[in-house]
Amino acid sequence: MADPWLALEFGVDPAERIAQVGAAHEAFLTGTAHDAFLTGAAPHRVRDVVRRSWERSARLDPEATPPVDLADDALAAYRATHPLARVLPLFRDLLGGTAQDGAHLMAVCDAYGRLLWVEGHPGVLRHAERMNFVPGARWDETHAGTNAPGTALAVDHSVQIFATEHFSRPVQRWTCAAAPIHDPTTGRLLGAIDITGGDHLANPHSLALVRATARAAEAQLAVDRPAQPGVATVTALGRDEAELRVDGRVIRLGRRHSELLVLLLHHPEGRTGEQLGLDLYGDDRLHPVTVRAELSRLRRVLGGELLDSRPYRLRGTIHADFMTITRLLDQGDPVGALDAYSGPLLPSSDAPGVTRLRRLIDGQLRAAVLAAADPALLAAWTATPAGADDLAAWQALARALPVAAPRRPLALARIDQLSGEYDLPRATWLQRS
């Protein structure tokens, strides 16, 4: 059986295939496509992966170019902290020669299709700039239509997109192959690696090359987790007990120590024992002895070098995942914030100070996602524990998706279910939308 992710079967004339798919593309855009031609009954069908991608891309202007989300300092800062920055030398080793041969480009994108690096021969780069194939541009299907990196992210599989299979007409002179890359520990989608060039890329070797490069990157990420001397990192999102990494040590904290650490991180100016007592217990009764005892134990757990007293505050350089969310939102980057969001802050904690902070983070992130009205962002938010029961977000997702989008019936079904739970008639919402 032929590989469905390859653009051309052995022996197929590329020029003939370009004309056939181009005719199908024009028929699809004008609404005159015959189902048999698109779905396989005709001798020269459009591949299923391409047809479905065209359906997801149907709302786009086929002459438009993708927008640029990040530029200059914002792009540099985002790239510097992205996990794929650690394997950029590997990408250059494996694909750099191909990218510099004057006929190809190497591109790396994040999980939302934003191009992080685009490298190759200067002449080819200049041609690519005309279609906004540049660092910082959004090449997910929502913004760029059918293309190898965007479609690879959408279906979470390596894929080749050939010439007129691209939804956007300005891109149809190119052929590309891309493969998704995942965090080897969590399985979270990190982005994709892509090679882009001419029609000659429509062969098994280019697809095999990006697949192998993606697997090599995942293997390197698994073994190459460099510690930063003197820099501590705290993970507290989506877990009931925080984890602290410092100087190569991994410290798993208990529930109360997790709450204290989060509260102290949120108040870098320091906190008195009385203030921490209110943050932890939330009543007018002071708990000075209990708080002091917990802080004393926390100091021993941390090794004594991270915690000061009078007032109680943390010292040194400490990064925290929940602080990353607020920083990215402050920078106007809801995509990066949602990408870094792995769940509510210490979800089982009922400490008033932690509860307030958890609601603040989730509320700010939710507001940014709803304001963006981006289907990819809305879909990602509704997949989180905080967004799973968010009726307004599901309604926004249904409005943002094309009528024929595969995800839209799922959104409508969830709206129906939540409307019943909240005693709200679904039919009324559908009439308004």
- Inter-residue contact 210 to 194 (CB < 8 Å): yes
CB atoms within 10 A of CB 264: 23
Pick the more confident residue, 90 or 287. Answer: 90
* Dist CA 331 CA 105 (whole Å): 30
Do the beta carbons of residue 174 and residue 196 sit within 8 Å? yes
Q: Please say whether the beta carbons of 38 and 51 come within 8 A.
A: yes
pLDDT (tens digit per residue) in 64-103: 999 998 888 888 988 988 999 999 999 999 987 766 666 7
Dihedral sign of CA atoms 361, 365, 370, 371 in order: positive
Q: How far apart are CA 295 and CA 270, in angstroms?
A: 13
Q: What is the mean pLDDT of residues 351-362?
A: 95
| Cα→Cα distances 353→19, 39, 124, 261, 357, Å | 63, 56, 54, 12, 6
pLDDT at 289 over 90: no
pLDDT band for position 349 (cuts 50, 70, 90): very high
Give, for 419, the enclosing helix (H) or strand (E). helix 408-421
| pLDDT of 430 over the 60 cut | no
Provide DSSP, 263-332. Answer: HHHH-TT-B-HHHHHHHHH-SSS--HHHHHHHHHHHHHHHTSSSEETTTBEE-SEEEEHHHHHHHHHHTT
**What is the full DSSP assignment across 204-262?**
HHHHHHHHHHHHHHHHHHHH-----TTEEEEE-BT-SS-EEEETTEEEE--HHHHHHHH
Burial class (CB in 10 A: 0-12, 13-18, 19+), 285: exposed
Confidence class for position 415, pLDDT limits 50, 70, 90: very high
pLDDT: which is higher, 247 or 106: 106
Three-class SS state of 381: helix
Contact 38, 24 (CB under 8 A): yes
Please state the length of the chain. 433
Higher-confidence residue of 428 and 352: namely 352
For 196, the enclosing helix (H) or strand (E) is strand 189-197
Residue 351 has pLDDT above 50, yes or no: yes
- Whether the model clears a pTM of 0.85, i.e. scores above it, the answer is no
Nearest to 179 by CA among 87, 109, 98: 109
